[in-house]
Amino acid sequence: MTVLTSEEIAQYRSQLADYPDALAALDEVEACDNSLEDAAEVLALESGDTKSTLAKSGQSYLDELTEKAREVICSKYTGDVLELFKDLRDFMPFPGNLATLVAINVTKIAVDKFCESSESEA
């Protein structure tokens, strides 16, 4: 489970201050004891995605979204959470609040390994 510190949340709030959907996602993270995965589940259910609790192969819903966004992540990620948030919001079919959580999740994982694993599977 990925849990953010209060300092990390404050930093993301600063970076994403101009995006109300991103700030709402961070509010939900705080309401879920700073857990990205729990916040993603709640936001998915609120957006009407009733399949969110049916994570495949033991993955969290957030991991599933991150996997769906692999192509965008691996082709566009430069280390800037704001730019990745914008790319995900523009190119992926999920709401901006979930794009926020995917972007933050990407900053917390080893992106190079994540993208390398997709290249070796190709």
Q: Please give the average pLDDT of every successive group of 10 residues along the chain, which has 122 residues.
A: 94 96 97 96 83 61 91 90 92 91 89 76 52
Distance CA 55, CA 53 (A): 6
Number of residues that make up the chain: 122
Alpha helices in 2-110 (DSSP H): 6-15, 20-31, 36-46, 61-68, 70-76, 81-91, 96-108
Instruction: Evaluate whether 25 touches 8 at the Cβ level (below 8 Å).
Output: no
3-state secondary structure of 8: helix
Instruction: Evaluate whether 87 touches 80 at the Cβ level (below 8 Å).
Output: no
Q: How far is CA 89 from CA 41, 96, 101, 121, in A?
A: 18, 5, 11, 26
Instruction: Evaluate whether 2 touches 37 at the Cβ level (below 8 Å).
Output: yes
The pLDDT assigned to 116 comes to 85
The pLDDT assigned to 98 comes to 94
Find how far residue 7's CA is from the centre of its chain. Answer: 18
Distance CA 17, CA 114 (A): 28
